[in-house]
Chains A and B, each alone.
Chain A
Amino acid sequence: GENVEQHPSTLSVQEGDSAVIKCTYSDSASNYFPWYKQELGKGPQLIIDIRSNVGEKKDQRIAVTLNKTAKHFSLHITETQPEDSAVYFCAASPGSGGSYIPTFGRGTSLIVHP
């Protein structure tokens, strides 16, 4: 089955700095890569996703890159703000027609200091 490794486990930055979280996956059949943000007491919330036919995707301060050859993908957050503080999870999933069952990484606790 799929195995997703995520680094670092904890990331501490100053407000305004950039943050980068990296993930690797093992199953070459994976073609969908979502990123989730989980705040305390809440369920994971999708913040951005990328599919295997795209190398990069950006949404305001958030961007994700995908290297299929190396089987790794990364989340980039620019101009971090205190409200970005949360746990971030990467995931990888094979599938088609909506039958996605993602395998999650262990999470990165991002702390943004004001």
Chain B
Amino acid sequence: ETGVTQSPTHLIKTRGQQVTLRCSSQSGHNTVSWYQQALGQGPQFIFQYYREEENGRGNFPPRFSGLQFPNYSSELNVNALELDDSALYLCASSLKTGSGIQYFGAGTRLSVL
């Protein structure tokens, strides 16, 4: 186990709704990255947070937003859900001044109906 925990494990929403996903980092890690993994695809980078500030962002619209808290846990918020947002959302924690190795949680499976 990586020590990265995500909640909830599964979620069903309808189009237009908003969702918040949560991630608890591995102890001692100060960087959190979020990825979207569509069925049959590799993870796609959404954004990364370091010390509560966004440290990089992928090609996702502004309705995808995030937060990192002082204890390095993190949230991913998605507004105005679309059917194509259905995917596995993965959180990965790492140590910015370390090797850069990212440790992934098991993910949250989001279904948008």
Measured CB to CB, the residues of A under 8 A from B are: 4, 6, 32, 34, 36, 41-46, 49, 89, 91, 93, 95, 97-107
Contacts and interface: CB of A to CB of B under 8 A. Distances in A.
A109 to B, nearest CB: 9
A41 B106 contact: yes
Interface residues of B, number: 31
B43 A34 contact: no
B99 A98 contact: yes
A5 to B, nearest CB: 11
Given A89-B43, A101-B45, A101-B56, A43 B107 contact: yes
Between A36, A97, A104, the greatest number of chain B beta carbons within 10 A of the residue's beta carbon is seen for A104
A4 B48 CA distance: 20
11 contacts: A4-B42, A36-B104, A45-B2, A46-B103, A89-B42, A98-B96, A98-B97, A98-B98, A99-B55, A99-B100, A105-B42
Given A97-B96, A99-B96, A101-B33, A107 B101 contact: no
A34 to B, nearest CB: 7
B61 interface: no
A88 B23 CA distance: 23
Contacts of B99: 98
A106 to B, nearest CB: 5
A97 B43 contact: no
A36 B107 CA distance: 15
Nearest to A4: B42
Contacts of A107: 40-42
